[in-house]
Amino acid sequence: MSLRRRDVVKKLLEKRGGLLVVAGLGSTAWDITAAGDADLNFPTWGAMGQAAMLGLGIALAQPKRRVLVVTGDGEMLMGLGSLATIGVQQPKNLTVVVIDNERYGETGMQATHTAHGVDLAAIAKACGFRNSAMVTTGKDLRKIVHEQPGPNFLQIKVAAEKLPLVLPPHDGVHLKERFRKALSDVLEKKP
Partner 1 sequence: MQPDWPAEVHRELAAAGVRVVGYVPDAGHKRLIELCHADRKMRAVPLTTEEEGIGLACGAWLGGERAVLLMQSSGVGNLINVLGMVSVCRFPLVMVITMRGEQGEFNPWQVPMGEASARVLETMGVAVRQAGEPQAIAAHVRTALMRAFEGQGAEAVLIAQRVIGIKSFQEQREQ
- Which residue type is seen at 108? G
For residue 26, state whether it binds partner 1 (rule: CB under 8 A).
no
Task: For the chain, give percent helix, strand, coil, nearest 5.
Answer: 40, 20, 40
> Is the CB of 60 or the CB of 111 nearer to partner 1?
60
Nearest to 41 by CA among 184, 189, 178: 178
Stretch of 6-14, 83-91, 97-105, 129-137 contacting partner 1, by CB under 8 A: 83-91
Are the C-beta atoms of 81 and 109 separated by less than 8 Å? no
For residue 22, state whether it binds partner 1 (rule: CB under 8 A).
yes
With contacts defined by CB under 8 A, how many residues of the chain interact with partner 1? Answer: 38
**Residues from 145 through 174 that contact partner 1 (CB under 8 A):** 172-173
Helix (H) or strand (E) holding 180: helix 172-189
**Residues from 51 through 70 that contact partner 1 (CB under 8 A):** 51-62
Collapsing DSSP to helix, strand or coil, 92 comes out as: coil
Binding site for partner 1 (CB under 8 A): 20, 22, 42, 44-62, 79, 81-82, 84-85, 88-89, 172-173, 175-176, 179-180, 183-184, 187
